[in-house]
Structure 1
Amino acid sequence: MKRRSFLKKSAAASAAFTIVPSFVLGGNHIPPSDTLYIAAVGVGGRGGGVVRELTQHGKVKFVALCDVDDKMGAGSYALHPKAKQYRDFRKIYDNHLSDIDAIMVGTPDHTHATIALPFMREKKHAYVEKPLTHNIYEARLMAETASKQGIITQMGNQGASSDGIRLAQEWINAGVIGKVHRVDCWTNRPVWPQGFKHITQGQPIPDNLDWDLWLGPAATRPYNENYLPFKWRGFWDFGTGAMGDMGCHIMETPFKTLDLGFPYEAEASCTTIWSGDFVEADYSEACPPSSIVRLKFDSPTQGDVSLNWYDGGIMPDLPSELKDNEAPGNNGGGSIFYGSDGIMITDTYSGNPRLLPSERMKDFKRPAETIARVKTSHAGEWIDACLNNKPTSSPFSYGGPLTEAVLMGNLAIKAFQYKTLKSGKKVGDWDPYNYPGRRTIKWDGANMRVTNYEEANAWVKREYRKGWEL
C-alpha cells in the first residue's frame, strides 16, 4: 500500500470508536483471553531481546516480524520461523491488522511513534522500548492516544517492574530518609562514539539493509557506517543521546518514588570535542560527549526537588558517608537521594535501595511490604495485562511523562549548545565562537512550551520527512 493510502486508512480507522476484538474481524486465532497475537517491529538488538522475553511467557503467538535489516532480524526470524517476515512495517498494517491484538516496537528512537501510533489508533495494545519517543510532542501524543483508545501499554524500562523500585518506594513512603530535596543521577554512557562532525560522505548501502525505511521520518541523507548499528544514539535526528538512552532507567526510581511529574526548570553544561586545530564538532548533528543537566521539580509529596544528571564519565560529588571500598551504584550508574533524615542510594536498573552510612543497614528494619510485586518479567507483565485487562508498571500514561522529563534535559543541552540566532539563520546553526553557555529554560508542562527561550520550542517537535507525518 502506498504511504498516502496507509495514512488515509489509519486516519479513518482512528475516527471509529467501536472496540471489536481482533479475532472477530476475520482472523483465525483464538480469543485474546487465551493467547496474545503479536506483530513485532525492530526485532534485532534490543528488540530481539524483547522478542525472546515475550516468547518465554508462553501465551503469545508472533504473527509477523519486521526489521529493515535482514541480518539484525535473523535471530528472531529463526526463533519464530512461521511468522511472516517483512522489512516495511506498513505491510503488517495492510496484511495483518485483523490477525493481531498487539504491537511491539523495538526500533531506534526516531521511529517509535511513527510505527506504534497507526496500530494504537486501531486499538492494538502496545509495548514500546524506552525512551518512549524521540521528542516531547510524540510522548504527549502517545499517552493521549493510549488513553483515548483504552489499550494496554508498557514502555520498555524494565526496572519499573522490579522488586527494588517497590522497595525504594516503600522506604520513601515510610519516611526512612525524610523529605528528599536532591537526587544525583549518573551513567557511564555514551559507550558509543559521540560528538561527530557532520557526515557528508556516503557509502554503499549493504544489501541486507533498506536505508530509506530505516530513515523513516528523518531527513534523507547518504548511508554511512558511522550511524549503524547502535551508534545512531549519538545523532540528534535518530537518537536522544546518553540521557535519552539511560534516563528512563536511572531516573525511573526518583521519578516514581518522589512523584516528580513535569520539571519546571532545566539547565545544562556540556563538553566540546575538537577534530583539529580550533575546529569544533557540529552539534546541530551530534549529541555532546558529556553533559551535566539540572532539573527542578515541584513534588506534591516532597516539595522542591533538584535532580542532577551526569554522563560521559562525569560523576556527582560522592557523599562523605560513602566508604572508599563502597561503590556508589552499579552497572555504570545509579542515583543518590539526599533527604532531611539521611541518604539512600539506588541501582541503575532495579532501583535496589541501601542507606548511608552502611552501618544503618545492620539494624535497619524494613517497612512493611505495601506494594504488590510483579511475578513475571516486564514484558510478561504486559502480556498478562493484555490478556486480563490489568494495569502495567510503566503504561504510557506514566512512561510518557517520564520520557518528557528526560527529554527536557535534552532541550537544556541544546539550549546550551546553540546561540540565539539572528535573522537569516535557522535554529541549530552552530557558531563555535559565540554560544551562550549555561542557559536556564523555564517549562510550562501543561501547555508543552518553553516560556523564556522561544527558539527552544522548535525542538519540542521534530520536522517530519514528507509522507512520514504523524
Structure 2
Amino acid sequence: MKKTNKEIDASNRRSFLKTTAIAAASFMIVPRHVLGGNGFIAPSDRLIVAGVGAGGKGGSDIANFAKSGKADIGFLCDVDTNRAAGSVKSFPKAKFYKDWRELLDKEHKNFDAVSVSTPDHSHAMIALAAMQLGKHVYVQKPLTHDIYEARKLTEAAKKYKVVTQMGNQGASNDGPRQMKEWYDAGLIGDVHTVYAWTDRPVWPQGIPWSANKADIPKNLDWDLWLNSAPYKDYVEKLVPFNWRGWWDYGTGALGDMGCHLLEAPFSVLGLKYASEVEASVGSVYVDEFKRGYFPDSCPPSSHVTLKFPKTAKTQGDVTVHWMDGGIQPTRPEELEANEVFGDGGNGTLFIGTKGKMVSETYSANPRLLPLSRNKDIKVPEKFARVPKGAEGHYAQWVEACIAGHGKKELSSPFEIAGPLTEALLMANLAIRANDVQRKDANGKVSYPGRNIKLLWDNDNMKVTNFDAVNQYVKREYRKGWTLGA
C-alpha cells in the first residue's frame, strides 16, 4: 500500500532522529584530533587517554586523570597483567594491550594523549613515538634515562606542537611559587649555593647482579619489559621496584628524587644546563679489606657538585650540591638544635647573600631561616597557584591538552623538564665515572674518573676531558629497538 505524504514525513523524521542520536553518541567518543586538530574544543570537552604502564604509579596516574572529570581512559597497556589488574577493573571499557608498539600502531586514531609510567629506560621511545603521531604526552619522572633522550624529547615537544608534562607533581605545589616571590623580593639576597639531599635509595644498590636465574612469572612478558636494555635472564625481586638501582634500567636516587628536590632551584633561579660536574661515591666492601666493584649497579650513596652558569636571576654562577644515601649537608647555624632540617630525610636549602630558605620534598613547606623570620613575611602573591597543588598537576595537563598546544601554562612541560632531567643525568655521568677501570701493562688497576671534574660541552652533548663516560650520554639500544619512528 502506498504511503501518504504525512506517513512518509513521519518515517523520515523518525529515521532522522535515530540517525542523529547515533551520530551524537558516536561524536561524544571521537578523539579530539579527528575533529579538527589540537586546538579544537569538542562539544564533550573530554580527553581520551591511553595509559602505557597501568600498575603501580601508572595506575595512580591514570586514576588521577580520570579524577579530573575531563578525561576518559580509552586504552591500557602493561607488560604485567597482574600489576595492571586494578586499572583493568577500574576502567572495564578500556581496551588492553601488552605491547605499546601494537597499541600505537592499531589504535592511534582512537585517542588523543598518552601517559607513560614505565621503568626509566623505556620512557623516551614510547613518548617520542606518541609525539610523532601528534599525541599529547605525560611522562613520569625522570623524563628519560639518557641525556641524549632528554634533549630529543625537548626538541620534539617544540617540533610536533603537542602538550607535554613530566610527572613532577611538586612543580605544581605552592612552594616553588612562594619561594620565587620571596627570592624576587630580595629576602635572601643573591643565591650562589644550593643543597638538595635525600635518604633514598630504599632499594638495593652497590651489589652484584644475581647469579640465580629464576622462572619468569606467567603474568610478565620479560622481553617486552627489557625493552631497549641488553638481554639478561630474569631474576627475582627486580620488578616491580628494585630495577631503580641498576644502570641498564634505572637512574638511581637522582632519578627517583632529584626532580622533586631540584625543581625549585631551577624555577626560582632560572637554571638551565650545567657546565661542569664532579662526584664522590660511597663504597661497599666484600670483605674486611676489599672494596666491591659493581659497575652495573648504582652506588649506595653519593655527593655530586654541579656548576650552573649565571642566569638572569643570579649575579654569578650557582653551585648545586646533591647528596643521597642519607648524606646531608651541615645544619645551617640559623636552625636550632632540635628543629627539623628539611623534612628529616629530604630537603632543599638555598644559601643567599642576605639569608637562607629551606623546603621539603615536593618543595613543600618553604621556610626562611631562622624560622622566626616567617612570622612577619609580607610579600605579595604574584604567581598564580595551581588549583589543588600537587594533586592538580594531572588536571592541569588534561585541561591544557583540551585547550591545545600553547594555550595554557603547565608546571613541568618538556621545555623545563628536559633541562632539569639533563642536569640529573649529568650528575649520574660523574657518579659512573668513578667506576671506570683501566689496567696498565702490568695488570695494575686504576680509576682515572675518580677525583676529577667533568667539563661539559652542552651544544655537542659530550664531556670534553674524560671520553670514557660519553658512552652513557647516548646508550646503545638492543637490536630491534629505536628512538622514534
Aligned residue type for 2:337: D
1:30-41 alignment runs, 5 A limit: 31=42, 34-41=45-52
Q: Quick check: 2:196–2:262 contact (8 Å CA) kept in 1?
A: yes
CA distance in structure 2 between the aligned counterparts of 1:400 and 1:219, rounded to whole angstroms? 25
- Per-residue CA deviation, residues 19-56 of structure 1 (Å, 9 max, x unaligned), is x953249xxxx938711011000111111111111111
State the number of aligned residues: 442
Q: Does 1:419 align with 2:437?
A: yes
Aligned residue type for 1:385: A
Structure 1 residue aligned with 2:5: none
Structure 1 residue aligned with 2:193: 182
Aligned residue type for 1:369: E
Runs of 4+ in 1 over 6 A off after TM superposition: none
Structure 2 residue aligned with 1:196: 207
Q: Quick check: 1:201–1:222 contact (8 Å CA) kept in 2?
A: no
**Deviation, structure 1 residue 152:** 0.3
Structure 2 residue aligned with 1:467: 480
Task: Choose 1 or 2 for highest CA Rg.
Answer: 2
2:412 to 394, 398, 402: 394
1:397-408 alignment runs, 5 A limit: 397-408=415-426
Q: Quick check: 2:277–2:455 contact (8 Å CA) kept in 1?
A: yes
Q: Secondary structure at the match of 1:349?
A: helix
In the alignment, structure 2 segments of 5+ residues that lack a partner are 1-30
Structure 1 residue aligned with 2:300: 289
1:456 to 452, 469, 476: 469
Q: State TM-score, norm by structure 1.
A: 0.90
CA distance in structure 2 between the aligned counterparts of 1:40 and 1:372, rounded to whole angstroms? 29
**Deviation, structure 1 residue 281:** 3.5
Structure 1 residue aligned with 2:366: 353
Aligned residue type for 2:181: E
CA distance in structure 2 between the aligned counterparts of 1:89 and 1:363, rounded to whole angstroms? 53
**Deviation, structure 1 residue 279:** 5.0
Aligned residue type for 2:415: S
- The verdict on how the C-alpha distance between 1:362 and 1:219 changes in structure 2, with shifts beyond 3 A counting, is same
Q: Secondary structure at the match of 2:430?
A: helix
- The verdict on how the C-alpha distance between 1:92 and 1:422 changes in structure 2, with shifts beyond 3 A counting, is farther
Q: Secondary structure at the match of 1:77?
A: helix
Structure 2 residue aligned with 1:381: 396
Q: Secondary structure at the match of 2:429?
A: helix
Q: Secondary structure at the match of 2:303?
A: strand
Aligned residue type for 1:414: R
Aligned residue type for 1:415: A
Q: Secondary structure at the match of 1:327?
A: coil
Structure 2 residue aligned with 1:100: 111
Q: Quick check: 2:438–2:445 contact (8 Å CA) kept in 1?
A: no
Q: Which deviates more, 45-54 or 349-358? A: 349-358
Structure 2 residue aligned with 1:3: none
**Deviation, structure 1 residue 275:** 3.0
Q: Quick check: 1:32–1:101 contact (8 Å CA) kept in 2?
A: no
**Deviation, structure 1 residue 100:** 0.6
Structure 1 residue aligned with 2:20: none
Q: Quick check: 2:326–2:345 contact (8 Å CA) kept in 1?
A: no
Q: Which deviates more, 139-148 or 43-52? A: 43-52
Q: Quick check: 2:438–2:446 contact (8 Å CA) kept in 1?
A: no
2:327 to 309, 314, 336: 314
CA distance in structure 1 between the aligned counterparts of 2:365 and 2:178, rounded to whole angstroms? 7
2:382 to 370, 374, 385: 370
RMSD: 2.2
Q: Does 1:271 align with 2:282?
A: yes
CA distance in structure 1 between the aligned counterparts of 2:437 and 2:277, rounded to whole angstroms? 17
Q: State TM-score, norm by structure 2.
A: 0.87
**Deviation, structure 1 residue 332:** 2.4
CA distance in structure 1 between the aligned counterparts of 2:353 and 2:369, rounded to whole angstroms? 13
Aligned residue type for 2:176: I
Structure 1 residue aligned with 2:27: none
Aligned residue type for 2:157: A
Q: Secondary structure at the match of 1:194?
A: coil
Q: Does 1:237 align with 2:248?
A: yes
1:249 to 248, 260, 276: 260
- The verdict on how the C-alpha distance between 1:174 and 1:231 changes in structure 2, with shifts beyond 3 A counting, is same
- The verdict on how the C-alpha distance between 1:416 and 1:34 changes in structure 2, with shifts beyond 3 A counting, is same
- The verdict on how the C-alpha distance between 1:131 and 1:114 changes in structure 2, with shifts beyond 3 A counting, is same
Aligned residue type for 1:311: D
Q: What's the % identity of the aligned pairs?
A: 49
Structure 1 residue aligned with 2:73: 62
Structure 2 residue aligned with 1:169: 180
Q: Does 1:76 align with 2:55?
A: no
In the alignment, structure 1 segments of 5+ residues that lack a partner are 1-19, 426-430
1:115 to 110, 115, 126: 126
- The verdict on how the C-alpha distance between 1:244 and 1:432 changes in structure 2, with shifts beyond 3 A counting, is farther
**Deviation, structure 1 residue 201:** 2.8
